[in-house]
Structure 1
Amino acid sequence: MAVYAALFLLVASVAGVLTVTADSPEIGFENPDYVVSDGETVEVEGQEYVVQISEIEESGGGHGGGGGGTSLVATIERNVTVEQSEAWANGSTVQVGEQEWRVEIAGENASEFTLVEVPDRQAILEADPQADNETVARDDGEYVVVTEDDESTLVPVEEYFPTPEERSYATGDSFAYADHTVTVDGVTADQAVLVWEATETESIEVEDEGIVTLVETDLVAHFADSSTLHLSSDIEGYESQVAQIEQFEQYNSGLFRVLILGLFSVVLLLGAAFIPSRY
């Protein structure tokens, strides 16, 4: 009985030593395509990306790591140029600069449109101390009451207010609008379409061992430390390392079960040795 107990104890000891001393493999790249520090810019196929590394609350551990605490995440950003457009309907009012304008398109086969100034009549009347602040309507039209030397005169609005400014634009013409230089892309009887280029920020978040596509390149991300990101196109190498880690975890789990079973067998054998004989 003592011999069997010693044998199981030896097996359990060997399994325990192997479990404790075994080094767990970890993901790593000897020659990554890109090594980027926090805040640096990396160029991928002619496109520049800015990398920002930050910590987030960890929802689960990666390969070889435990859960809980925080984990690292990289935000990869680039500025891209996109085409934007806007349609102005015939008869609508638009704001260009500090002035309002009315869009006018003449004819079914028009190739241009006209912006007609919409004067701020209320502001003009309030700025004139001799004019009433409101126009008056008569049977023959609309008037402004102007008082001079205690004598009031009705002045037709067409004569009182300045002639509206007009600006015409044809297809292909450009002008300033809303902090952009816009180009007339097309004109129909119903509307005029304007196009311009604007810069937008494209943002991608990637966690440790995540796959990210930059331009048309697939890269696996790995944090060498809390401020350095490695990006590698060796996806097969990464998958091979993952397989090795999974195999190690299986072997380590098996050794742990051998350790428990060996210790249990030793206890069982020693316990059986002290059971009194019936004969």
Structure 2
Amino acid sequence: MNDYPRPPFLSQAQQVPGLQKNMDPYPDCGEQSYRGSGRLADKIALITGADSGIGRAVAIAFAREGADVAIAYLDEHEDAQETARWVEEAGRQCLLLPGDIAQKAKCQAIVDKTVEQFGRIDVLVNNAAFQMSHETLEQISDEEWVRTFDINITAMFRICKAALPHMPVGGSIINTSSVNSDMPKPTLLAYATTKGAIANFTGGLAQMLGSQGIRVNSVAPGPIWTPLIVSTMPDEEVQSFGSQTPLGRPGQPVEVAPIYVLLASDEGSYISGARYSVTGGKPIL
């Protein structure tokens, strides 16, 4: 087992959406460790939230498995350019797509630009997410609730709908859910609610698209060390992050990426409607 960092971690609060380059310890997205074997040769992937964290790890893994990658992200340009550098070092093309997917037009635009560049979408990874921590219901504003849903689940619906006409038989949609989908953390009420919706959306969509030869699955990470954590959680929770898992530490993004590779690959040809947990030993229902 890799000797990954364990809590306690340093105090390091960041502004939303957070920057990976400022994290300590620096998350492992597989930059030095992931080894590909051609499992996604010449596939085209669109990944949201791929500037850092899990999205970056998936982008690096996909590229090293032979895929060209379009990366959608908000405005973390320096992080996104670092992800693009790793994709291109793997010998694959990378298209950067900044913008706010809470806006309907942006959901359509990232699909249109990906298709314009690459001609199709073989793999769609809906990974972008927003969360904030609150101790009481009264602290959650109506605007924040709506924005959480707009980014986490409504954008997912819109992007899937826009991408579907450009996905061939054998295509794969992978949605990032969470351990919170069935074990909701009360201080992440809005986020956890959207993650439950993602699990349900995935199961229904898999049944809807099966006859078209499109597979749909979700991945449910537990505590993974990403910029989302240091920019949205109270400092004391950041310092102890991951300590509650049986493995006693948070996961690193590179430890989540392999399941996305499986679900994206032809090796996963009979896997659809499933939810895969990556939680450091904490079971989900």
Q: TM-score range by the shorter chain?
A: under 0.3
More helix per residue: 1 or 2?
2
More strand per residue: 1 or 2?
1
Which has the greater radius of gyration? 1
TM (norm. structure 1) is 0.19
TM (norm. structure 2) is 0.18
